[in-house]
Structure 1
Amino acid sequence: MGDPVSSIRNLGPASVAQFARAGIHDAETLRALGADAAYTRLIAAGTRPHFIGYYALVMGLQGRPWNDCQGAEKAALRERFDAIRAAATRTPAGDLPPDLVVFLRDHGLAPRDG
């Protein structure tokens, strides 16, 4: 095993635990995946998406403090984050059990595709 995830700037104990739940146990793996793929794994493993956590990860992988993100760079990261979150949390109705789809529709909560 290589360097711990916590060796990356901005990533403390809470982040380490989240990455471990997502199967990412060292800094080398995290760097190889990159921010977008790693954050997608976090969401898939149950971490609630949060923009500050995402851009702190991006900044950390660049060796920068989390609060260094501003202006146009922050706006561009927000677009990336929103796309990651939308893709990671989308569940096509065809992937749900039929009885759950019926229940959701009966209660005005019909799942949306795409």
Structure 2
Amino acid sequence: MSAAVSSIRNLGPAYETACTRAGIPSAEALRQLGADAAYAKLLQSGMKPHFIGYYVLVMALQNRPWNDCKGAEKKALRKRFDAIKASSFDADRDAFEQMMDQIGVRPAP
């Protein structure tokens, strides 16, 4: 049986719902993807980018407290976040297009 995404430290029901919407059904699937690929899928499924949400995911997959990210590590994560956002989030896509993507009417980007 698969463990729920919310079984991972720092990730609650809202993150689990977002993961399910993005096609990430379990904690195992999330761990296998890794933080960067999973966050890209979350953005592609319509989630709005937010740096804290990204680094919470990174910390969660390392089993660290969400606020453990500081200094040079946080700056490096910000660069990774910016790159993922640039390649996976289209701010010009309207809500209707996002919904069509979520239900699979349009091919994935």
TM-score per shorter chain, which class? 0.7 to 0.9
Structure 2 spans left out of the alignment, 5+ residues = 92-109
Which residue is equivalent to 2:34?
34
8 Å Cα contact 2:5/2:27 also seen in 1: yes
Amino acid at match of 1:60: A
Q: How many residues align?
A: 91
Which residue is equivalent to 1:71?
71
Which residue is equivalent to 1:9?
9
TM-aligned CA deviation for residue 79 of structure 1: 0.2
**Aligned-partner Cα distance in 2 for 1:14–1:55:** 16
Which residue is equivalent to 2:53?
53
* Percent of residue pairs identical: 65
Give the match's secondary structure for 2:64.
Answer: coil
**Aligned-partner Cα distance in 2 for 1:49–1:28:** 23
**Aligned-partner Cα distance in 1 for 2:41–2:15:** 13
Amino acid at match of 1:70: K
Give the match's secondary structure for 1:3.
Answer: coil
Greater relative contact order (CA < 8 Å, ≥ 6 in sequence) = 2
Amino acid at match of 2:71: G
- Note the alpha carbon deviations across 1:55-105, whole angstroms, 9 max, x for none: 0000000000110000000000000000000011259xxxxxxxxxxxxxx
TM-aligned CA deviation for residue 25 of structure 1: 1.1
Bigger radius of gyration among the two:
1
TM-score, with structure 1 as normaliser: 0.77
Amino acid at match of 1:56: V
**Aligned-partner Cα distance in 1 for 2:90–2:17:** 24
Amino acid at match of 1:32: Q
Give the match's secondary structure for 2:34.
Answer: helix
8 Å Cα contact 2:56/2:66 also seen in 1: yes
State the 4+ residue runs in structure 1 displaced beyond 2 angstroms: none
